[in-house]
A = this chain, B = another copy of it.
Amino acid sequence: MIPTPYLLFLGDAPDQLATKVAQGIKDWRPDHAIGQLRLPTCKADLGLTDMTLAEAKAAGAKTLVIGVANRGGVISPAWKEILIAAIEAGFDIASGLHNLLRHEADLVACSMAHGTSLHDVRVPGIDYPIANGVKRTGKRVLAVGTDCSVGKMYTGLAIDAEMQKRGMKSTFRATGQTGILITGQGIPLDAVIADFMAGAVEYVSPDNDPDHWDVIEGQGSLFHASYSGVTMALIHGGQPDAIILAHEPTRKHMRGLPSYTLPTLEALRDMCLPIAQVVNPACKIVGISVNTASMSEDEARAYLSELEARMGMPAVDPFRDNAERLVDALEAL
Chain A residues at the B interface, C-beta cutoff of 8 Å: 130-135, 189-195, 197-199, 222-223, 225-233, 236-237, 254, 256-257, 259-260, 263, 267, 270-271, 274-275, 278-279
Known A194-B191, A278-B223: A236·B228 in contact at CB below 8 Å: yes
For the complex, give the distance between the alpha carbons of A231 and B229 in Å. Answer: 7
Q: Can you spell out 18 A-B residue pairs with CB atoms less than 8 angstroms apart?
A: A131-B225, A132-B225, A133-B226, A133-B260, A191-B194, A192-B193, A194-B197, A194-B229, A195-B227, A197-B229, A198-B228, A198-B229, A225-B279, A228-B236, A263-B278, A270-B274, A271-B274, A271-B275
Of the candidates B133, B222, B226, B232, the one whose C-beta lies within 8 Å of that of A259 is: B133
Of the candidates B133, B222, B237, B260, the one whose C-beta lies within 8 Å of that of A275 is: B222
Number of copies: 2
Besides the known contacts A228-B233, A228-B236, 10 further A-B residue pairs in the complex with CB atoms under 8 A apart:
A191-B194, A191-B195, A192-B193, A194-B230, A195-B227, A198-B228, A226-B236, A229-B229, A232-B233, A267-B274
Residue of B nearest to A230 (CB): B194
Q: Are the C-beta atoms of B192 and A194 separated by less than 8 Å? A: yes
Q: Are the C-beta atoms of A225 and B194 separated by less than 8 Å? A: no
